[in-house]
Chain A
Amino acid sequence: MTAFFESLGMNYEWAWFVATICGILLIALPLMLAVAMIIYVDRKIWAAMALRRGPNVVGPFGLLQSFADGLKVFLQETIIPSAANKGLFLIAPIITFTVALMAWAVMPFAEGAVLADINVGLLYILAISSLGVYGVVISGWASNSKYPFFSALRAAAQMISYEVSIGFILICVILWAGTNNLSDIVMAQKGAGLGIVNGFFFNILLFPMWVLFLISGMAETARAPFDLTEAESELVAGYQTEYSSMAFALFWLGEYANVLLMCALNTTLFFGGWLPPLDIGILYVVPGFIWWLLKTFFFFFVFSWVKATVPRFRYDQLMRLGWKIFLPMSLLFVVLVSGYLMLTRYG
């Protein structure tokens, strides 16, 4: 895109600057639309599994429900509790939302369709997802209220715990792909399974890692069954209890953008990203973006499915699962994967 703006007579730096701004808008605006629609999809799936209709009033099939909700919160008054720490109270949702958008900078949507094709792509995602906890922690503290504070402490412990095992899982993928760049990781998956399946999930050493990643992803985004940060039976609404109007909406959007990011990461790291499922010539006729979208949507369906069917974990069970099962398992697989690669590829 930089070349296009250069052809309009700008010098390289300004062309790059304008091209990057355009790229950001090209990702962020459709992402916001996708988040609005995915909230609708989530509610529909959830309703279908509970034998309800779900949103069906606003627009055809209730498609405009999210926009109606958005308009509603936009028109509401932002209430700031008098005991709250005003500055931090307002910054917290902005942090959550911004961080949720930032991670998408390195996501490859199709071949070459990535805003920042950097060498440390996966590390960048890890770094940004570790920032996500600040929105929750700051909001819990700044609300100056008991339940949000409990929720914030829970969130901090939960996210740090699961980031450790996610880190090890990512190391397995990095070792196998031999690169940290997300586009290269996708290309490394071409024909990875028996020379015909595009994706690391078909690999017997990486399949268990994918299962762990899926579950850790749910815990990392505080999605049901690990949504202990907003367990309504214990903590009212968790860290968002004191929030209203747009501040609340920013949390809401950020949360779903994070869930979408986790789905997209599952797609990119284990299911071949924009590549078609099988390495057959005719499947490449369909644009890569369509495959990426289908796979990501499939994972979102899995997330919704789990949300609708699995009851919430107890907090001690959550910690036990993270530290006593996932961490040793993923550590073991780092050793196994690197041992196997030393034996076969680098030996």
Chain B
Amino acid sequence: MIHTIAFYIFAAMVIASGALVITARNPVHSVLWLILAFFNAAGLMVLVGAEFIAMLLVIVYVGAVAVLFLFVVMMLEIDFAEMRAGFVKYFPLGVLLALILVSEMILGIGAYSAGSMHLGTADGVGTPLMGESNIRSIGALLYGRYLFLFESAGLVLLVAMVGAIVLTHRERGTVRGHQNINKQVRRRPGDATVNTRPEVGKGIEL
């Protein structure tokens, strides 16, 4: 019973916060609702026994991606009036995207319940064994059957990262404000200060 209650709480929270993401007036609030949606989706993952995916969802999306999102949105000055003005222009495109998503969802669920996919059938026969740890089964699949796909996904991400760095890297003409950390660490009080007791009326030479 607790399982059912938990499912309905998590599911209702996901849907409600998902709706609030697109209806919230303030973009910062939108991102915060998005984070709540991620968090509750992780809760749903735990309920179906995919605790590893749930933890990764929280670590990667909530812990890293959404923080950067929030970071950017907080620093941007967004003109709401301007954004609303574009609403009519982008409405047909939005409807098109929504239709594509809906049809994909129907196709996916249809294929899943027809049992034509090998992800596991609707009657629960092909699902992962209970008691077998998530991490173990995912690891065995990723580093066994899908090794090359996994490695190439890693390479694609690496290329994307290098690309982003190359695009944003600017060669500075003159080295201004450059700090030599080793030099700073090596510096001792004796190098910078002198302790003297000058005679009255006489200065000191530096």
Q: Which of A13, A16, A141 contacts B28 (CB 8 A)?
A: A141
Instruction: Determine if A130 and B51 form an interchain contact, defined as CB atoms under 8 angstroms apart.
Output: no
Q: Type the 1/0 row for A58-95, where 1 means its CB is closer than 8 Å to any CB of B.
A: 00000000000000000000000000000010000000
Check A316 against B62 for contact (C-beta < 8 Å): no
Could you tell me if A160 and B64 are in contact, using CB atoms closer than 8 angstroms? yes
Shortest Cβ distance from A133 into B: residue: B67
Q: Is the CB of A123 within 8 A of B52?
A: yes
CA distance A329 to B187 in the complex (A): 25
Query: Is B63 a contact of A163 with CB atoms below 8 Å?
Result: yes
| Residue B55 at the chain A interface, CB threshold 8 Å | yes
A141–B32 alpha-carbon span in the complex (Å): 12
* Nearest chain A CB to B63 CB, angstrom units: 3
B35 near A: Cβ within 8 Å? Answer: yes
Number of A-B residue pairs, CB cutoff 8 Å, is 72
- Size band of the A side of the interface? 20 to 34
Q: Are A120 and B55 in contact (CB under 8 A)?
A: yes
Are A127's CB and B2's CB within 8 A? no
Whether a CB of chain A sits under 8 angstroms from the CB of B99 is no
With an 8 A cutoff between CB atoms, is B121 at the interface?
no
Q: How distant is the Cα of A262 from the Cα of B55 in the complex, in angstroms?
A: 19
B residues 179-206 near A (Cβ < 8 Å) are 179, 181
- 8 Å CB contact of B55 from A124, A133, A317: A124
Residues of B68-87 contacting chain A, CB below 8 A: 68, 70-71, 74-75
Give the docked Cα–Cα distance between A78 and B141 (Å).
54
CB atoms of A123 and B59 under 8 A apart: yes
Minimum Cβ distance to chain A for residue B69 (Å): 11
Chain B residues near A118 (CB-CB < 8 A): 51
The answer, yes or no, to whether B1 is at the interface (CB within 8 Å) is yes
| Inter-subunit contact A119/B135 (CB<8 Å) | yes
Whether A5 sits at the interface, judged by CB under 8 Å, is no
Residues from chain A with a CB closer than 8 A to the CB of B74 are 137, 141, 149, 152-153
User: Are B59 and A130 interface neighbours, CB within 8 A?
Assistant: yes
Q: Given the known A-B contacts A120-B135, A130-B64, A133-B67, are A88 and B59 also in contact in the complex, defined by CB atoms under 8 Å?
A: no
**Does residue B155 face the partner (Cβ distance < 8 Å to A)?**
no
Is the CB of B44 closer than 8 A to any CB of chain A? no
> How far apart are the CA atoms of A153 and B70 in the complex, in Å?
10
Structural contact, B135 and A13, CB atoms closer than 8 A: no
- Nearest CB to that of B3 among chain A residues? A13
Interface residues of B in 83-116 (CB under 8 A from A): none
Q: Is A207 an interface residue (CB 8 A)?
A: no
Give the distance to chain A from B179, nearest Cβ to Cβ, in Å.
7
Q: A118-B51, A119-B51, A120-B55 are in contact. Are A127 and B133 (CB under 8 A)?
A: no
Among A123, A141, A160, point to the contact of B56 (Cβ < 8 A). Answer: A123
Q: Which chain B residues numbered 19 to 78 have a C-beta less than 8 Å away from chain A?
A: 28-29, 32, 35, 51-52, 55-56, 58-59, 62-64, 67-68, 70-71, 74-75
- The dominant DSSP class at the A interface is helix
Chain A residues, CB < 8 A from B71: 137, 153, 156-157
Residues 116-133 of A, flagged 1 when their CB comes within 8 A of B and 0 if not, give 001110011011101101
Contact B133 A119 (CB under 8 A): yes
Whether A88 and B67, one on each chain, are in contact in the complex, defined by CB atoms closer than 8 angstroms, is no
A13 and B2 in contact, given A119-B51, A130-B64, A316-B179 (Cβ under 8 angstroms): yes
Task: Mark contacts of B1-25 with chain A using CB atoms, 8 A cut-off: 1 yes-contact digit, 0 otherwise.
Answer: 1100000000000000000000000
The listed residue (A119, A131, A159) touching B62 by CB distance below 8 A is A131
Q: Which partner residue on chain A sits nearest B135 by CB separation? A: A180
Whether, in the assembled complex, A253 has its beta carbon less than 8 Å from a beta carbon of chain B, the answer is: no
Residue of A nearest to B75 (CB): A153
Across the interface, do A127 and B134 meet the contact criterion of CB distance under 8 Å?
no
A229: shortest Cβ distance to chain B, in Å? 14
- Binary contact readout A308-327 vs B (1 if CB under 8 angstroms, 0 otherwise): 00000000110010000000
A120 pairs with B59, CB closer than 8 A? no
Docked-complex contact B2 and A131, CB < 8 angstroms: no
Contact B59 A126 (CB under 8 A): yes
B181 and A317 form a contact (CB under 8 A): yes
B32→A127 contact, CB < 8 A = no
**Is A252 on the interface with B (CB-CB < 8 A)?**
no
Contacts of A289 in B (CB 8 A): none
Instruction: Write out the residue numbers on chain B whose beta carbons fall within 8 Å of the beta carbon of A137.
Output: 67, 70-71, 74
* CB nearest neighbor in A for B179: A316
Q: How many angstroms from the CA of A120 to the CA of B39 in the assembled complex?
A: 16
CB of A134 within 8 Å of the partner chain = yes
| Chain B, residue nearest A316 (CB) | B179
CB-based contact A13/B35 at 8 Å: no
- What distance in Å separates the Cβ of A20 from its nearest Cβ neighbour in chain B? 10
Question: What residues of chain A have their CB less than 8 Å away from a CB belonging to chain B?
Answer: 13, 16-17, 88, 118-120, 123-124, 126-128, 130-131, 133-134, 137-138, 141, 149, 152-153, 156-157, 159-160, 163, 180, 316-317, 320
Could you name 16 residue pairs across A and B whose Cβ atoms are closer than 8 Å?
A: A13-B1, A13-B2, A119-B135, A126-B55, A127-B62, A130-B59, A130-B67, A131-B62, A133-B67, A134-B70, A137-B67, A137-B70, A138-B32, A160-B67, A160-B68, A180-B135
